[in-house]
Chains A and B, each alone.
Chain A
Amino acid sequence: MYSRLLLIFALASGTVLAQSTSSSPEQQESVQGLMDRIQQLEKRISELEDHQRKQDAAQAASSGSQNLVESQGSQDKATLAAALRSEHAPSSTEVREAEVHYPSLQIRGFGDIDFSATNEKGSVSGFNLGQFVLHLASPLSKKVGYFGELSFTARPTGYDVQVERTIIRYDYNDYFKISFGKYHTPIGYWNTAFHHGAWLQTTISRPQMVQIGGTFIPVHFVGLLAEGNLPSGGLGLGYSVGLGNGRSSILSKAGDSGDSNDNRAWVASVFAKPTRFYGLQLGASVYGDKLSPDPGKNFGEWITSADVVWTKERPEFLSEFANVHHRDLQTSQTFNSQAFYVQLAYRLSWLESKWKPYYRFEYIHRPANEPVWDVSGLSSVADLVSSTVGVRYDITNYAAFKGEYRNNRTGTNEPRVNGAFFQTAFTF
């Protein structure tokens, strides 16, 4: 009690002294530091006092119990037992609360509101609602868990509702986990690191090569996936191997309702998170499939990719490369398209570390006569050279404001397009 009074007095006198002199930012910082420490000390004192009270109560109860049990009857025993139970009741409640109950559904939502303005011919500037995303996770037992992701995307005629991911997974141990469902295909880094919540990613948009609704890589995959760590010591190796339907006849979509042919797609990826370089991740993946976009047209698809990322924020560095190889199964003609991006960001340490400027360069190249990208009559993949510079401001721990400028050229001999984009992204 006295120590608290003393602390309060010290704080008050400190405040008076602080008010009587014009304090510099360093002094203010020191005072703030001391205030934090006082709060921590007060918390610690109250913890110790609680602890002491509990011990005293337990001792009193145990000494009292001996006397009472000897001298009084069964009614007193019951009263004492109830008192002892109530003393220990919070612990058992805490244990019960800390234990996982099955199923235990958690829901998290993501949303974003965007504004865009570009000098592209025919484009209209204005606001739009981004994706509204619900994420579901529920452990079903100690070793079985369910994950789901639903997206609601605004369209001119209403909302497009999609099941983006639905996965049930059995964990045998850290080295082997098998799951079934619909995934984001484990090709490269971005596609499995950032899903549909724009708040999760630093930038407003995804790189074009992994764009949702894009066709350069198959963003979704329906089937089964085995994944886990590999015993590798400090290398921190992990893997995932999958078998599934691959692309449907609409190349941007997975075969949710069935494959477009009798040939299954497969994917294998490995990654390393070396313990010596915490934050570094290196990955490589291979994907194979047979595409049947139109009756009588069949292509072999072989995608190879590699990625290097530094996941810390000072700096954050993301880069990945992918080569998409198509082979016409009738003519044996082959086509190779390449894409990569490099993104660099840095969380500034001043202004409460809320600002994070970033820059991204993207590149896509496709052969002019590549038949798969033009199979629908419209070019679904075009050459691209794009630069994005922007800044993210974290309004709170769960909401961010982003603003960026993009300069890109899509297609050959096309003019460059400049645009300004703004986004408020949040999770709830």
Chain B
Amino acid sequence: MTTHQKVASRALITGCLSFCLLQSLIAQSGGDVDVAVVVHPDTPVSNLTLAEVRKVFLGDRQYWSTDVPVVLLIRAPVARERNVVLKVIYQMSESQFKQYWIAKIFRAETATAPKVVYSNDMANELVTAIPGAIAFIDARDVRPGTKVIRVDGRLPKAQGYPLR
């Protein structure tokens, strides 16, 4: 075996090992992680159906109670939580989602679009601080001080939980 062949075979083996490691990292971070629906602790709901969550996130339900408006928080593009929300809740592509909210405001059906949050930390902090706030957070990152909503009677990690 020549020196070139040795170098090539080592590079190939290292590449394969790296690829396997990458695959395992991807698998660990893959689509099995549940996305929790969290609200401000004073929000007067603890269980919503998936259809009700959709209604809230579509802006069709804008008040939790007479004095507490819904404040929608959604992760910025590329985040996994946003992808889950777009796929399961909105059933829209990124461009459809943008168009939906422009049209919603333009129809005078709501004055504000969902607020964009850039990390789960930020989502946790804002949900804790803003009355009426609701957000989607990776279930592993939910912090004390927020209230996790049951969706269709199930909490994250339960069998049949719809947001994953």
Which A residues are within 8 Å of any B CB, using their own CB?
3, 6-7, 9-10, 13-14, 16-17, 34, 37-41, 43-44, 47, 50-51, 54, 91, 94-95, 98-100, 104, 106, 108, 135, 137-139, 142-143, 145, 147, 165, 167, 169, 171-174, 192-193, 195, 197, 200, 229, 234, 236, 273, 275-276, 278-279, 312-313, 353, 394, 397-398, 427
Contact = CB atoms under 8 A, between A and B. Distances in A.
Chain B: interface size category? 35 or more
Contacts of A167: 108
B120 A47 contact: yes
A278 B88 CA distance: 12
B107 A394 contact: no
Nearest to B122: A94
Nearest to B18: A10
A135 B106 contact: yes
Given A50-B119, A167-B108, A195-B107, A10 B78 contact: no
Interface in B16-31: 18-19, 21-22, 25-26, 29
Interface of B: 11, 14-15, 18-19, 21-22, 25-26, 29, 49, 51-52, 54-55, 60-63, 65-66, 69, 71, 73, 78-80, 91, 93-96, 98-99, 102-103, 105-108, 111-112, 115, 117, 119-122, 125-126, 129-130
A67 to B, nearest CB: 27
B61 A174 contact: yes
Contact of A98 (B73, B98, B99): B73
Nearest to A43: B78
A94 B78 contact: no
A174 B65 CA distance: 9
Q: Which of A39, A51, A91 has the most C-beta atoms of chain B within 10 angstroms of its own C-beta?
A: A91
A44 to B, nearest CB: 6
A115 B87 CA distance: 37
A54 B124 CA distance: 15
A44 B33 CA distance: 13
Contact of B18 (A6, A39, A40, A197): A6
